[in-house]
Chains A and B, each alone.
Chain A
Amino acid sequence: MATSDMVGTRKARCPIDTEVDATFHQWVGDRSVYWNEERKAWIVTGYAESARILEESATFWRDIPQRDGAAEFWGRHLLVMEGRDHRRMHAVHMQLTGEKFSEDIRARAREIARDLSARLVKKGRADLAAAYADTAVFTIGADFLGIDITDTAMIANLIEEMKFRAVWKEELHSRDGIPFSSKVAQDGKAAIERIAAVLLPIIRERRGNPRDDLISAIWKKGATVFPDWNERDVLSTMWSSLDNETKPLSRGLLYTLCRDQELQARLRRDPSLIAGFVEEGLRFLTPFRTIRRQVRQDVEIGGQKMRAGDNIYLITPLANRDPERWECPHAFDAERKQESTHFAFGYGPGYCVGRYLGRVEAQEIVGAMLAETSGLRLDPQYPNPEWAGEMYHSIMPVHAILER
């Protein structure tokens, strides 16, 4: 199926419609479940099949624990758990950072994003990906964890170290991963230890002197699941607040605004549309783009017989464009009423525990930049940025001109 066919006869509403379709075109097959010899894996693009795979965790589950270096990367993190431990820890995460928590931190997230936006606007130009989206997500997370974000040197240092970790993260989860002995993994591990050297003293202090922050709450709640809960476990749990899908999502949303002046004007006139814009961004951009699963027991799905041990790639942007589920699914429509549950946050037992937080953060990051500017556009001094990334897919750098 050609990209132009996928857009269909409907006139595209947004300049990025065709551009984004081209980023997952390589995954379109002749049926909704097919074997990819190059990846030695099943590719799943259908909505119903994706939903089933994500729901039936006894038959399909993550292969992360088997990847070389996963234990060193994640520690005792939700993503390497399964069964009862996973269910209990998943519930703990939802207790800690569910809807109420997310709404509670909204005002503070707005304040942080407004402050960061205002500083960038003074310069007139910025890379909205690294200097704004990534920095805002990290800083908002650090703040609600209970890390002192007024220590700007420490925050800047941690953000730099997180970049090494992010490179390892992408390589660890793409294709079959990379050896722990590789330079990327060793550089990532070294960065994690440097980050730990900064954060562990804070974590230790918070154990004896709990505050009204997430680090203190993680100490308390984690111990209800694991009696031997320790400072490294707290650190492992914190990663999700500091580095997550909201970064690539926010980059993509800001780029979309730079490309679509009419949409930008509409959101400026009516900020109540921002929540819908973010939701459509999740469906359409689906920054968490390939969800990986491994077959646990022989099963038939989508007319294909899968064997225990087979690997699966769920291609979320394609599932999120099922024409049976969304009208004109290949069009970015910021005012779309989401007719179905999209899989940008996964689904089923692995449903992202940060889905409330991510939405709030992205809404406030977009809202703050619009509030602090009168115009955003791509900086013509730089070549057009490119979409990249197999697991977390997004666009960067996004060099932009910021008009007051």
Chain B
Amino acid sequence: MTYVITEACVDCIHRDCVKECPVDCIYEGARALYIQPDECINCGACVPVCPEEAIFFEEDLPESSKRHLQDNADFFSQALPGRSEPLGSPGAATPLGRVGVDTPLVASYPQRETSS
């Protein structure tokens, strides 16, 4: 089980959740954040701090956002564009820094104007 960051995060990236996460398992792509499902401890601390209400427990995902369960996992289990190896489970997001690449699903979303 894991928490999942959905499309509401795309082009927003407030990072409040990154600061709140006690295990540093929220990683930054280019246009969105992703939760490493094997590192997430299911504490839910990220949910109330997200101003976009973009984070859900996997069982609570709205139908329209369910594909992000797999997509969050794919960010780590599949080699991202321009990379030869998957990220896997780095253990902590901060030392890794901004990855700067998104999954094909997130990259496919039209660019949107945001206040952040």
Of all chain A residues, the one with the shortest Cβ separation from B22 is A341
User: Within B25-64, which residues are at the interface with A (CB < 8 Å)?
Assistant: 41-45, 47-49, 57, 59-60
Enumerate chain B residues within 8 angstroms of A51, measured Cβ to Cβ. Answer: 41
Of all chain A residues, the one with the shortest Cβ separation from B40 is A55
B48 touches A95 (CB 8 A): yes
Give the A interface residue count (CB, 8 A): 20
Surface stretch bound by B, among A147-155, A160-168, A195-203, A346-354: A346-354
Give the B interface residue count (CB, 8 A): 15
A84 touches B48 (CB 8 A): no
Choose among A56, A99, A349 the residue that contacts B43 (Cβ–Cβ < 8 A).
A349
Enumerate chain B residues within 8 angstroms of A99, measured Cβ to Cβ. Answer: 20
B60 touches A87 (CB 8 A): yes
**Distance between Cα atoms of A92 and B44 in the complex (Å):** 11
With contact pairs A91-B47, A94-B49, A98-B49 given, residues A55 and B59 touching in the complex (Cβ less than 8 Å): no
A321 at the interface (CB under 8 A from B): no
Of all chain B residues, the one with the shortest Cβ separation from A58 is B1
Of all chain B residues, the one with the shortest Cβ separation from A346 is B43
B23 touches A341 (CB 8 A): yes
Enumerate chain B residues within 8 angstroms of A347, measured Cβ to Cβ. Answer: 22, 41, 43
A351 touches B22 (CB 8 A): yes
Enumerate chain B residues within 8 angstroms of A56, measured Cβ to Cβ. Answer: 1
Taking beta carbons and an 8 Å cutoff, which residues of B are in contact with A? 1, 20, 22-23, 41-45, 47-49, 57, 59-60
16 other A-B residue contacts (CB within 8 Å) besides A54-B41, A55-B41, A341-B23: A57-B1, A58-B1, A84-B60, A87-B47, A87-B60, A91-B44, A91-B47, A92-B48, A94-B45, A98-B20, A347-B41, A348-B41, A348-B42, A349-B41, A349-B43, A351-B43
- Interchain residue pairs A-B with the least CB separation, the first 3: A95-B48, A351-B43, A91-B48
